C-alpha cells in the first residue's frame, strides 16, 4: 500500500486495536497516549510515554510498528513527546468505563475509591503495589472483593 492512499482516520482505527500491554482491555487510544498522526512520505505516530521508565513504552512502540506494518505501511516513524506529560487524566471516558467493566477502579482525584463490583466507597488500601507498578491492591469492606486501582498520576 502506498502511503498516500492511507487516511489519518484509517490509522487511528488501526491504533484502536493496539492494546496497552499492561492492561490489555485498554487500547493505546483509550489510554490517551497517541498525541498525533501525520502522513507524508511515511506515517508518523507521536506517542507520549506513560509512567517514566515504564517498560510498557517500548512494548507499545513495537506494537504500533507491527500493527501498521500488518496493514501494509512501509515507512513508519514513532516519535515520543514528553510535553505536555501524560497523566491519568488523559485516559478517555470510554477507557474509564472499560477499566470498571474489567474490575479495575479507574484513576480518580478523589480520596474515595469506589469498589468496581458494588460501587461502595467503603474500601481500603491493601498494598501500594498491585500486579504492575501502575496499580495498587484494594479491598472493598462491603462486598469483601479485592480489586485493583489504577493509580492516579
104 binding Zn ion? (CB under 5 A): no
143 binding Zn ion? (CB under 5 A): yes
- With CB under 5 A as the contact rule, the residue among 117, 133, 137, 139 that binds Zn ion is 117
Mask: binding to Zn ion, 118-137, rule CB under 5 A, as x and -? x-x-----------------
Distance CA 48, CA 84 (A): 8
Let me know: does 105 contact 149? Beta carbons within 8 Å: yes
Q: Which residue has the cell 478523589?
A: 110
> Segment near Zn ion (CB under 5 A), from 15-23, 32-40, 80-88, 108-116?
108-116
- Reported in sequence order, the residue ranges of 3-152 that DSSP labels E, i.e. its strands, are 34-39, 43-47, 76-80, 104-105, 123-127, 135-140, 146-150
Q: Which residues bind Zn ion (CB under 5 A)?
A: 115, 117-118, 120, 140, 142-143
Amino acid at each position: 500500500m502506498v502511503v498516500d492512499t492511507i487516511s489519518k482516520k484509517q490509522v487511528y482505527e488501526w491504533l484502536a486495536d493496539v492494546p496497552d500491554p499492561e492492561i490489555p482491555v485498554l487500547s493505546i487510544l483509550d489510554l490517551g497516549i497517541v498525541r498525533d498522526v501525520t502522513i507524508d512520505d511515511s506515517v508518523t505516530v507521536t506517542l507520549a510515554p506513560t509512567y517514566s521508565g515504564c517498560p510498557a513504552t517500548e512494548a507499545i512502540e513495537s506494537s504500533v510498528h507491527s500493527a501498521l506494518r500488518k496493514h501494509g505501511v512501509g515507512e513508519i516513524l514513532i516519535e515520543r513527546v514528553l510535553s505536555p506529560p501524560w497523566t491519568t487524566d488523559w485516559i478517555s471516558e470510554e477507557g474509564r468505563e472499560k477499566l470498571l467493566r474489567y474490575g479495575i477502579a479507574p484513576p480518580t482525584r478523589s480520596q474515595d475509591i469506589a469498589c468496581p463490583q458494588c460501587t461502595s466507597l467503603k474500601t481500603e488500601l491493601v498494598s501500594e503495589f498491585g500486579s504492575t507498578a501502575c496499580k495498587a491492591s484494594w479491598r472493598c469492606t462491603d462486598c469483601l472483593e479485592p480489586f485493583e486501582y489504577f493509580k492516579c498520576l
